[in-house]
Structures are given as C-alpha cells and as structure tokens.
Amino acid sequence: MSDKNFIERYTFRERLAHWFVAFTFILLALSGLSVFHPVFNFLNNLFGGGTWARILHPFFGVVLAVSFVDLARRFWNANRIAPADREWMGQLKEMLANRPVKLVETGKYNIAQKYYFWTLTAAIAVLAVTGFVVWQPYFAPLFPIWLLQLAILLHSVAGFVAVLALIVHIYAAYWVRGSIPAMTRGTVTQAWARHHHPGWYREVNKGTK
C-alpha cells in the first residue's frame, strides 16, 4: 500500500497460505470434535453424518500437514525465542487488564505469539503422526492394538491443545484492535506497529527511509 500510514506485515502469499491452513484446520477441528465428546456429536451433520466425518477427517489431515509445513517454514525464523522476549511476558498481567504497559523491544512476534507458533507446530506434528497410525481402514491394521490405544490418547490430547491454542489465537487477534487487517489486507498502521512491535517497526522503517 502506498499510503504512508500503513506498513505491510504479510504478503499475499503468506496470507493465502495462512487462510488455507486456517480453513482446513477448522474442518479438522469440527470433524474431530464430533467424535471427541457426545456433546459435539451434532457436528457430524456438517459432513453428512458420522461415517463421512470419519472418512474425510484424515484426508483433511493430509492437506493440513502439507499446507502447514509450507506456512510454518515462512515464519520459522521470525519465531525463534530470544532471552529478550521474556521481558514481554512480565507485562502480561498488566496488558490483559488493559492497563498501560512499558514499551518493550519486541520484534515481529512477541513471546506469546512465538509460544503459539511452537505449540501449534508440536501439536500438529503429533496429530499427523498419531492420526496416520489410527487411519481406518488403510493404515490402522498395520499397527498393534496397544499402539492404536496410545495413538488415540495422544491424538485427543494434541487435538485439545491445538483447539485451545486456536481459541486463544483468534481471541487475541480480535482483542488487540488493528491486528486482523494484517492477515486480511496485509497491512497494519504505523501506530499499531510502534506500540506492539517497536523492534520490527524500526527494522521495517530502516528499509523504507
């Protein structure tokens, strides 16, 4: 965008990759939750019934595994955790209460976002491997029953962690006003960048000056 109030945060490719993963993840979460607990059984109907949910879920999983690798490698380097990041964590309580906080030298991602990245990467890795092991009728018969039991247990825990992380991710994006346009339009305002990611703001402006 040529308007000097806006800074580009995500390119078109990055946004496309993100929304593709997001959409696939939602399909997986809904089909997975439908067998997770009876209170979610009704979600079956979104897929044409329980059998369809069971058939489609692992195929969605393959699509997610591939597209997530593509997405993750784009943001891998920017999410490395540095000791300086922990200072941000100390402010968390103040920030959540919507009280003024001291500006910390935050890069493109703060430590909470980095935690989210690594938690989700780990969860999706566990989900992909364990999901493959229990995939009926193609692959599950290859494995002994005790491994299927363990895989289903780990799959449900990792699924829970992933959905919980997603709830936090979506809420945080909404709660911090000005964040969502980063992923829908690709841009954020100067003020948003100066306040939330001053280190990144300085780096980006060095290039444009």
Partner 1 sequence: MALQSLDIVRRSSTTTPSPGVRETQKVAKLIDISKCIGCKACQVACMEWNDLRDEIGTNHGIYDNPIDLTDKSWTVMRFSEVEVEAGKLEWLIRKDGCMHCADPGCLKACPAPGAIVQYSNGIVDFHEENCIGCGYCITGCPFNIPRLSKKDSKAYKCTLCSDRVAVGQEPACVKTCPTGAIVFGSKDDMIHHAEERIVDLKSRGFQNAGLYDPPGVGGTHVMYVLQHADQPEIYHGLPKNPSISPMVSLWKGPFKSLMTLGLGLAGLAAFFHYFTVGPNESGEEDS
**Looking at 56, 168, 183, 204, which residue binds partner 1 (CB under 8 A)?**
168
Which tokens sit at 170? 């979506």
100/207 with CB nearer partner 1: 100
For 64-131, strand residue ranges (E) read none
Known active-site residue 196: no
**Cis check: omega of the bond before 38, within 30 degrees of 0:** no
Find where tokens 């990792």 sit.
158
Q: Does position 150 bind partner 1 by CB under 8 A?
A: yes
Which tokens sit at 64? 């997610």
Q: Does position 83 bind partner 1 by CB under 8 A?
A: no
Q: Does position 146 bind partner 1 by CB under 8 A?
A: yes
124/182 with CB nearer partner 1: 182
Question: What are the residues facing 187 on neighbouring strands?
Answer: 8
CB 131 within 8 A of CB 155: yes
Per-residue b or e along 108-134, where b marks 16 or more CB atoms closer than 10 Å to that residue's CB: bbbbbbbbbbebbbebbebbbebbbbb
**Looking at 153, 180, 202, 205, which residue binds partner 1 (CB under 8 A)?**
153
Q: Which residue among 37, 57, 169, 197 is the active-site one?
A: 169
Chain residues in the site for partner 1 (CB under 8 A): 35-41, 49-51, 53-55, 95-98, 100-101, 134, 136-137, 140, 145-146, 148-150, 152-153, 156-157, 160, 163-164, 167-168, 171, 174-178, 188-189, 191-196
